[in-house]
């Protein structure tokens, strides 16, 4: 006999079943159908990081041995001596030749902040110094975009290359696919800055043209570093103090040389034709043979050779499958050659500059545009990082996004 009690039980079961199944899939939400979703991939050093220390055993009495997910990058007081030594010892990676992975020291865990929070600013205590994507994101919000609904930021561990960022690249793929469904099968506008062009280029080439044609409406490359930058050569040969006048380049070299991303962004001979390092003994071009000779001259550890071999095997990618535009800066002194007066790796060096955005030379980005067969638009007087905050760039982005809605 069909009783009221049985009816209640059936309805309860159906309610539970509905709750369970809805948590297992992404459903179209009619609230977010007005705009094509935007996914932002930041550049090198452009993601906030936090860290956990568990019985770390620091070499320095003024550094912590234990910490519970505190902000690591960017944190201004960790760039002040002597506390910069605390930053270096937890950020330095150890290469494992068996797995070919670059791993943190024992007792150290590092991960990114999530979503828009991980890229909107880098040091919240100094918002005027490091707003990064803040102005751009607020502009997108002003025209109706909402965080984690049709506006996504995807920070990552910028020390790593694509081999060490497999989980991150999978996250990019699933974010694109899920936001496509959530927003009524609207394809994604992908915005990538600097190093992000290498990560997105690797992923889209790996997934192939059919995937890109379905999910990507347009890719907007802002100051792409796909051709490489001379600054990473300096990081390996002399060190890079990230523009901090309180510390020397040389003091950072041990950490810099352990980052796979540094080797991944070395200038490549697809876009750099002239010599990039000059010395009294030998001059070096942006090719594999010369890099290996340079590393030998610098007496680098075997791990550097291994990381270089790994990154050079999948570095360059052919033209993007999606509709694309490149936005770049120029009008700034930009290094194109590193000239040593004496021994390579010494403090006695100078740059030979050309036109560019202070990091990527104009000629390199124009060669990329030619190789890819895409539209290129320049912005006078903008720097490599400043371009994402430049008012005219943001205005053009907003116009582009609105005009390319499907």
pTM for this prediction: 0.91
pLDDT at 406: 87
pLDDT at 137: 98
For 12, the enclosing helix (H) or strand (E) is helix 4-22
pLDDT at 116: 97
Which whole number is the average pLDDT over 10-23? Answer: 34
pLDDT at 94: 98
What whole-number percentage of the chain has pLDDT above 70?
90
For 188, the enclosing helix (H) or strand (E) is strand 188-193
pLDDT at 19: 33
pLDDT at 318: 65
The pLDDT mean for the chain works out to: 90
Query: Is the predicted pLDDT of residue 59 greater than 70, yes or no?
Result: yes
How many beta carbons lie within 10 A of that of residue 136, not counting itself? 24
pLDDT confidence tier of residue 315, bands split at 50, 70 and 90: low
Query: Is the predicted pLDDT of residue 159 greater than 80, yes or no?
Result: yes
Which whole number is the average pLDDT over 72-80? Answer: 91
Which 8-state DSSP code applies to residue 270? T
Which whole number is the average pLDDT over 382-391? Answer: 97
Query: Is the predicted pLDDT of residue 13 greater than 60, yes or no?
Result: no
pLDDT at 129: 67
Query: Is the predicted pLDDT of residue 3 greater than 60, yes or no?
Result: no
pLDDT at 316: 57
Those residues with Cβ within 8 angstroms of residue 240's Cβ, 6 or more apart along the chain or in another chain: 231, 234, 249, 252, 253, 256
How many beta carbons lie within 10 A of that of residue 295, not counting itself? 19
Q: Are 349 and 338 contacting, i.e. CB atoms less than 8 angstroms apart?
A: yes
pLDDT at 306: 97
Give the model confidence (pLDDT) of 220-256 as tens digits. Answer: 999 999 999 999 999 999 999 877 778 899 999 999 9
Which whole number is the average pLDDT over 189-197? Answer: 97
Q: Are 189 and 143 contacting, i.e. CB atoms less than 8 angstroms apart?
A: no
């Amino acid at each position: 006999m069909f009783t009221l009690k049985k009816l209640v039980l059936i309805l309860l079961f159906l309610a539970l079943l509905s709750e369970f199944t809805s948590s297992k899939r992404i459903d179209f939400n009619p609230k977010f159908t007005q705009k094509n979703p935007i996914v932002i991939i930041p550049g090198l050093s452009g993601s906030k990081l936090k860290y956990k220390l568990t019985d770390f055993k620091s070499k320095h009495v003024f550094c912590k041995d234990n910490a519970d997910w505190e902000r690591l990058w960017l944190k201004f007081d960790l760039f002040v001596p002597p506390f910069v030594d605390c930053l270096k010892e937890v950020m330095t990676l150890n290469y494992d030749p068996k797995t070919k992975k670059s791993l943190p020291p024992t007792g150290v865990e590092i991960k990114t902040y999530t979503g828009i929070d991980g890229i909107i600013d880098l040091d919240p205590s100094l918002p005027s110094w490091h707003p990064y994507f803040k102005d751009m994101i607020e502009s997108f919000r002003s025209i109706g975009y909402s965080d984690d609904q049709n506006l996504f930021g995807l920070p990552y561990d910028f020390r790593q290359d694509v081999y060490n960022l497999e989980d991150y690249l999978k996250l990019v793929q699933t974010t694109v696919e899920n936001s496509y469904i959530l927003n009524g099968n609207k394809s994604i506008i992908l915005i990538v800055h600097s190093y992000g062009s290498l990560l997105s280029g690797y992923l889209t080439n790996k997934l192939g043209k059919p995937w890109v044609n379905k999910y990507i409406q347009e890719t907007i490359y802002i100051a792409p570093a796909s051709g490489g930058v001379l600054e990473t050569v300096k990081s390996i040969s002399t060190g890079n103090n990230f523009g901090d006048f309180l510390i020397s380049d040389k003091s950072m070299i041990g950490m810099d040389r352990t980052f796979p991303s540094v080797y991944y962004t070395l200038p490549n001979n697809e876009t750099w034709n002239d010599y990039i390092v000059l010395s009294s003994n030998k001059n070096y071009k942006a090719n594999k043979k010369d890099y290996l000779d340079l590393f030998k001259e610098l007496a680098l550890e075997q791990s550097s050779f291994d990381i270089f071999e790994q990154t050079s095997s999948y570095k360059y990618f052919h033209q993007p499958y999606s509709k694309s535009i490149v936005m770049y800066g120029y009008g700034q002194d930009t290094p194109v050659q590193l000239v040593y007066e004496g021994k390579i790796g010494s403090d006695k060096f100078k740059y030979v500059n050309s036109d560019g955005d202070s990091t990527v030379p104009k000629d390199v980005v124009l060669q990329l545009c030619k190789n890819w067969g895409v539209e290129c638009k320049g912005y006078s007087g903008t720097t490599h990082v400043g371009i994402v905050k430049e008012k005219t760039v943001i205005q053009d982005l907003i116009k582009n996004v609105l005009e390319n809605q499907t």
